[in-house]
Every structure is written in C-alpha cells, then in structure tokens.
Amino acid sequence: MTFDDPRVQAVFDDYRRREVEDDGRMRDLGPAGIARRDEFLLPVGEEVGGLLHALIVARRPRRILELGTSYGYSTLFLADAARAVGATVVSMDLAEFKQDYARERLQEAGLADRVELRCGDALELVAADPGEWDFALLDIWKDLYVPCFEAVYPKLSVEGIVCTDNMISPESARENARALRTAIAAKGDMQSVLLPVGQGIELSVRWRAGNAKL
C-alpha cells in the first residue's frame, strides 16, 4: 500500500525496514526468540493493514478501538484512515514502552492528533470507557480474545465491525480462535466471515441491536 501523505509513507517505510531486521534477529535467535518476543515488531502485515484502511474509509466509523497497540504498525493504518473520514482512534496496550515508540512514530507521521493511547489492562480500560465503538481491531494476546470480545460487544454499535487477527495462524492460536468464533456465534446478532488474508482475519458485524436468537 502507498499512503498519500509522504510523512505517513516515510514512517511506514521505517516499519518495513524494522520488520525485515526483526525477522532476521528472530531467526538468528531460534527458539530463544519466543521468550524475547516483546522486543520484536510482530505486525499484521501490509495486506491486512490495507484491508483495515479500506474498511474504515468505506464504512466511515466515528470511533475506532484498537486492542494491542504494540509498536504502532497497525495503528498507523487506522490513524491515516481515521483522518480521511474524520474519525478518532483509541488504542490500548499494557506495555508503556511500546506505546512510547508508537507515539513517536505517529507524531512523525502527523497523525498523533487522531489517536488516543491508553496504557493499562485492556478489560479494565474498555469497561471504563462510556462510549460506543463502531470499529474494533483485536490483535492482543490470544488467550484474551474471548474476554476482550465480550467486553467490547455490549458497546459495539449496530453495523459495527470487529476485526480479529491471527485466526488461521500461528497454529498455537487456533484453540483461542475457535473459542472466539463460538462466542461470536452465541450472540445471535453477529455475522462473521473468515478471510485468508495475512494470518487470517475474522470480520464480525453486528447487524442489529440486541442479542435475541433467530
């Protein structure tokens, strides 16, 4: 994907370079790299980022939630699309040092005013927010997918979208992915589709208010 704003493009090019460098470091470390995964950029990837960007531009949400800021790779896509449609992004993460990095990149891209970074426990932060979400990205530790979805669901607007990454790979995430699909299906007012994009993106849309079974 090519961004219209050269400042955003320059930051994305930096992310690309870091992704290549971090992939090389992880390969060199081998199994030991798993224990140090917080050091590495683990991005959704350009294809998924472009999909998220296109969905936001098409759907024009007012409030966008990101659970799992990490180093801000996907946040860049969300923020650029949010600026295009006049939306705001709230991005949550437990790691302050990662959000500090993301904040610097957003400032360089000229997008800092579109994103509110909140640091802390995702479930507590979502519960404390009184507003409604029109678009949510779940890209957090996989054992938190179901509790995070359950926290977001009551605050999801009608026709609001939940996008969840890693629904196909890695294989270690599949049990949690299946549990999430079960939780979504149980609501009765959600429709989902799994897209073989990146590591697997589940798009779930709340098509009416309430959770009555059909």
Query: Could you please report the per-residue DSSP string of 25-67?
Result: HHHHHTTHHHHTGGGS-----HHHHHHHHHHHHHH--SEEEEE
Any domain includes 27: no
Burial class of residue 179 (count of CB atoms within 10 Å of its CB; 0-12, 13-18, 19+): middle
Any domain includes 25: no
In this prediction the pTM is 0.94
The contacts of residue 171 (CB under 8 Å, 6+ apart) are none
Any domain includes 150: yes
Any domain includes 19: no
Any domain includes 97: yes
Any domain includes 132: yes
Any domain includes 4: no
- Beta strand pairing call for 190-195 and 201-206: antiparallel
- Check whether 33 has a pLDDT greater than 80: no
Q: What is the total count of domains within the chain?
A: 1
pLDDT bracket for residue 26 (50, 70, 90): confident
Please state the rounded mean pLDDT for residues 134-150.
95
Any domain includes 33: no
- Per-residue pLDDT tens digits for 182-197: 999 999 999 999 999 9
What CATH number should be reported for the domain holding residue 79?
3.40.50.150
**Domain assignment of residue 78, given as a range:** 44-206
- Over the chain, what is the mean pLDDT? 94
